[in-house]
């Protein structure tokens, strides 16, 4: 299939997990793909994993100057964007009484300020009729213990996307969110929790999922393809859950 033939796509946080799987799926659908990341190791691995035609660029989603430079580079090297997937994000889970202010600030800096900065600086390189979507989370509408800051950033992303959809509508640009539930990605190894605690946390999450399993990054990539393609040409401002029914049933 070639649902994205001749379309130019940028995926932030595209070197691992959902972003990487989406890049691979979009490439198969005919897109020209650029992915970004900030970790030297994952950038190097992505360059090894992805075909040579995929551009892999270093960029810090939370840094204003880096974000501005990123979209200047987009304009200079690949031209205008048909699709923008704001996927970069971090997670730190802990009870509110134990959570650190540092982790709170980092999550807001990357997850919500980063997306806001990207939308601000991407506006001039988005084609009229482009598709933009943001990786939110099923927890934005749930009271998940240990996720006070993380869930708040995802709820803010939902609001940001809805308002941006209204602002960009005059140009035919669609803005949506995609909200994964528990997905098998490397993010669980980056929670800052001991391995046993991560396993216990994962088990407790799966118990809340009607389909009784973790999803895969490829399953999220399939939903992302719908939002990126013309199949969703009359869809804007929505939240598309990919959560096994976690927040729906």
Residues annotated catalytic, as ranges: 150
Residues 209 and 139: their CA atoms lie apart, in Å, by 12
Cβ-based neighbours of 53, under 8 Å, separated by 6 or more:
27, 32, 33
**Half-sphere CA count of 40, side-chain side, radius 13 A:** 0
CB count within 10 Å of CB 1 equals: 9
Apex 181 CA angle, 62 and 64, nearest 5 = 5
Provide the terminal-to-terminal Cα distance of the chain, rounded to the nearest Å.
Answer: 33
CB burial of 10-44 (b: ≥16 within 10 Å; e: otherwise) equals bbbbbbbbbbbbbbbbbbebebbbbbbbbeeebbe
3-state class of 244 per DSSP?
A: coil
Quick check: 107 and 153 in contact, CB under 8 A? yes
DSSP 11-25: EET-SSHHHHHHHHH
């Amino acid at each position: 299939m070639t649902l994205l033939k001749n379309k130019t796509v940028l995926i932030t946080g595209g070197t691992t997990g959902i972003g990487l799987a989406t890049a691979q799926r979009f490439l198969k659908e005919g897109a020209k793909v650029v992915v970004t990341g900030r970790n030297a190791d994952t950038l190097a691995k992505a360059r090894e994993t992805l075909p040579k035609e995929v551009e892999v660029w270093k960029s810090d989603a939370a840094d204003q100057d880096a974000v501005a430079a990123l979209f200047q580079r987009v304009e200079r090297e690949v031209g205008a964007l048909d699709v923008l997937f704001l996927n970069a994000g971090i997670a730190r889970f802990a009870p509110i009484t134990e959570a650190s202010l540092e982790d709170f600030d980092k999550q807001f800096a990357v997850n919500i300020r980063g997306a806001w900065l990207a939308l601000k600086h991407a506006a001039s390189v988005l084609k009229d009729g482009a598709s933009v979507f943001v990786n939110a989370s099923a927890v934005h509408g749930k009271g998940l213990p240990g996720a006070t800051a993380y869930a708040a950033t995802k709820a803010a992303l939902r609001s940001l996307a809805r308002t941006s959809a209204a602002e960009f509508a005059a140009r035919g640009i669609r803005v949506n969110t995609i909200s994964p539930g528990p997905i098998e990605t490397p993010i669980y190894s980056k929670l800052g929790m001991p391995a046993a605690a991560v396993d216990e946390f994962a088990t407790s999450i799966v118990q809340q999922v009607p389909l009784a399993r973790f999803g895969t990054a490829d399953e999220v990539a399939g939903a992302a393809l719908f939002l990126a393609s013309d199949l969703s040409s009359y869809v804007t401002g929505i939240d598309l859950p990919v959560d096994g029914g976690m927040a729906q049933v």
